[in-house]
Amino acid sequence: MAKLNLNREPMPRQDPKVRGRNFNEVALGYTPEQAQAEASRCIQCPKRPCAEGCPVGVDIPGFIKALQDGNMPEAVKILKSKNSLPGICGRVCPQEMQCEAKCSLAKKGAPIAIGRLERFVADWERTNQEALDAPAPLPQSTGKQVAVVGSGPAGLTVAADLAKLGHRVTIFEALHVAGGVLMYGIPEFRLPKGIVQNEVNYVTSLGVELKLDSVIGKISTVDELLDSDYQAVFLGTGAGLPMFLNIPGENLNGIYSANEFLTRVNLMKGYRFPEYDTPVKVGRKVAVVGGGNVAMDSARCALRLGADEVYIVYRRSEAEMPARREEVENAQEEGIQFKLLTNPKRLLGDKENWVTGIECYKMELGEPDASGRRRPVTVPGSEFVIDVDVVIIALGTTPNPLIASTTKGLETTGRGTVVADAETGKTVKPGVWAGGDIVTGAATVISAMGAGKQAAAAIDAYLKES
């Protein structure tokens, strides 16, 4: 056997100085040679530890073997049998905590870049449709109809799986495009919108009907859907309600929730104002409060819109940051400044009601809290002011109460999430399943897809019985 290669093939990326001013994708993707080199490092462990780290159970050694053999159509087939959105997961999965964390090579050196290989296969598939076998014909219609509420990764997965089983599926989406957070939240430079729309088109090509501009709870309730044409309903409405700090000055002009800022930039294409009609304020000095992926995305968007200085204000230290390691590094390289162990006390404004500063406390780490992370505590008398003209609050989101408040007999938790069975997504309300962020609170694309897969199987079994 060849000698173990513990060094990972680097990912070509745009130069930080250049990419900090454009919205093009940062990571450029492997060339076929690079993919081959990276795949050849995989030692095909018989115990397949990597696959256990994947929430949807992708046959990782299998698709990498096909890559080693140069059999791209086979790699596509293996990958897609478990993951219908590989082009997305390859780009945004927190691999370092999932599949790659479990790779045998991780103990000795760099784990196989599973996500990058997955992306390589998906990108190849997109541009080499003619080399693939025609998709299997759809089975005969079962005559059963399912309504899917929300078109994020959970909803798209349920819809695709049920359509492939012969059920008629209609997706109801509140916004004017499908894709959920993949469209309005995650920016173009991390996940090109063309790729998301490609996946949406694939789902509609299976015969799924997509109804945009349809806010369930307003245009119809879940009960009305069940009373009309649909035998089952899947709730995949995500966690879309932004949290604020609840400190003085938070409603000053220039203060955005990350959802609003990212929606204006990504969904409404505010970065191309005035060609596109929706404006977004481009601050000179921008502070982003929070330490997750959402905060990194907001900070990096602000930089790309032309801000001179962008700060991440986070109350713990870098080690506790929930954002993906890679994105933290990307942000640092691009020149985002990290104000760690710093917690906002209040926001200051001028007489035009425009934000001018963010007054913060210095923090220090105390005892670990319930999440196992050391709890930040305020250092008394440590207040200082950061001058800013735009502030973006990226503290996280909770489920929008609209569905729960308009649906009889759903059970919800104190955090507003819908209670559903962990294995099947079944809620306490007959005929209603739920999965993704609406059940877990803000989580990941792949966990939403995993929940969608389980729910689709459970809904199929239910429809067969009824």
* Residues of this chain that bind another protein (CB under 8 A): 174-176, 212-215, 218-220, 240-242, 244, 246, 250-251, 253-254, 256-257, 259-260, 263-264, 268-269, 273-279, 281, 352-353, 400-402
Interface residue with ligand SF4, options 34, 84, 95, 145 (CB under 6 A) = 95
Q: Which amino acid is at 5?
A: N
CA-closest candidate to residue 79, choices 18, 35, 128, 123: 123
Does 151 help bind ligand FAD (rule: CB under 6 A)? yes
Cβ–Cβ < 8 Å for 427, 433: yes
Preceding amide of 73 cis, omega within 30: no
Task: Residue 274: name its binding partner from ligand SF4, ligand FAD, another protein, none (Cβ under 5 to 8 Å by kind).
Answer: another protein
Task: Please give the DSSP secondary-structure letter assigned to residue 15.
Answer: -
Of 176 and 464, nearer to ligand FAD (C-beta) is 176
**Rounded to an integer, what distance in angstroms lies between the CA atom of residue 393 and that of residue 258?**
6
Does 104 help bind ligand SF4 (rule: CB under 6 A)? yes
Task: Residue 293: name its binding partner from ligand SF4, another protein, ligand FAD, none (Cβ under 5 to 8 Å by kind).
Answer: ligand FAD
Task: Residue 425: name its binding partner from ligand SF4, another protein, ligand FAD, none (Cβ under 5 to 8 Å by kind).
Answer: none
CA-closest candidate to residue 152, choices 168, 131, 174, 130: 174
Task: Residue 44: name its binding partner from ligand FAD, ligand SF4, another protein, none (Cβ under 5 to 8 Å by kind).
Answer: ligand SF4
Q: Which residues pair with 209 in a beta bridge?
A: 170
Would you list the DSSP string of 140-188?
PP-S-EEEEE--SHHHHHHHHHHHHTT-EEEEE-SSSSSSTHHHHTS-T
CA-closest candidate to residue 344, choices 248, 419, 430, 228: 248
Of 56 and 388, nearer to ligand SF4 (C-beta) is 56
Does 27 help bind ligand FAD (rule: CB under 6 A)? no
Q: Locate tokens 């009309």: which residue?
A: 228
**Rounded to an integer, what distance in angstroms lies between the CA atom of residue 158 and that of residue 148?**
8
Q: Locate tokens 């745009």: which residue?
A: 14
Task: Residue 353: name its binding partner from ligand FAD, ligand SF4, another protein, none (Cβ under 5 to 8 Å by kind).
Answer: another protein
What is the layout of strands, in order, in the sheet containing 255-257?
Answer: 255-257, 390-393, 285-289, 309-313, 337-339
CA-closest candidate to residue 403, choices 156, 224, 167: 224
Please state the closest distance from residue 437 (CB atom) to another protein, in A.
Answer: 12
**Rounded to an integer, what distance in angstroms lies between the CA atom of residue 221 and that of residue 229?**
13
For 396, other C-beta atoms within 10 Å of its C-beta total 17
Task: Please give the DSSP secondary-structure letter assigned to residue 57.
Answer: -
Interface residue with ligand FAD, options 186, 340, 404, 432 (CB under 6 A) = 186
Task: Residue 251: name its binding partner from ligand SF4, ligand FAD, another protein, none (Cβ under 5 to 8 Å by kind).
Answer: another protein
Does 175 help bind ligand FAD (rule: CB under 6 A)? yes
Q: In angstroms, what is the C-alpha Rg of the chain?
A: 23
Interface residue with ligand FAD, options 236, 242, 249, 431 (CB under 6 A) = 236
Please state the closest distance from residue 441 (CB atom) to ligand FAD, in A.
Answer: 9
Q: Which amino acid is at 105?
A: L
Task: Please give the DSSP secondary-structure letter assigned to residue 269.
Answer: -
Interface residue with ligand FAD, options 155, 344, 349, 357 (CB under 6 A) = 155
Does 45 help bind ligand SF4 (rule: CB under 6 A)? yes
Q: Please choose, out of 83-91, 124-132, 172-180, 327-335, the segment that lies near ligand SF4 by the rule CB under 6 A.
A: 83-91
Secondary structure of residue 372 in the 3-state scheme: coil
Total residues contacting ligand FAD by CB under 6 A comes to: 43
Of 201 and 253, nearer to another protein (C-beta) is 253
Q: Which two structure tokens, joined as six digits, stand for 363?
A: 């923090």
Task: Residue 213: name its binding partner from ligand SF4, ligand FAD, another protein, none (Cβ under 5 to 8 Å by kind).
Answer: another protein
**Residue 74: CB partners within 8 Å, gap ≥ 6?**
66
Does 58 help bind ligand SF4 (rule: CB under 6 A)? yes
Please state the closest distance from residue 118 (CB atom) to ligand SF4, in A.
Answer: 5
Residues engaged in binding ligand FAD (CB under 6 A): 92-94, 149-155, 172-175, 180-181, 185-186, 214-217, 236-238, 240, 262, 293-294, 297, 324, 400, 402-403, 436-438, 442-446, 448
- The site for ligand SF4 (CB under 6 A) is made up of 42-45, 49-50, 54, 56, 58, 60-61, 64, 83, 89-90, 93, 95, 98-99, 103-105, 112, 114-115, 118, 446
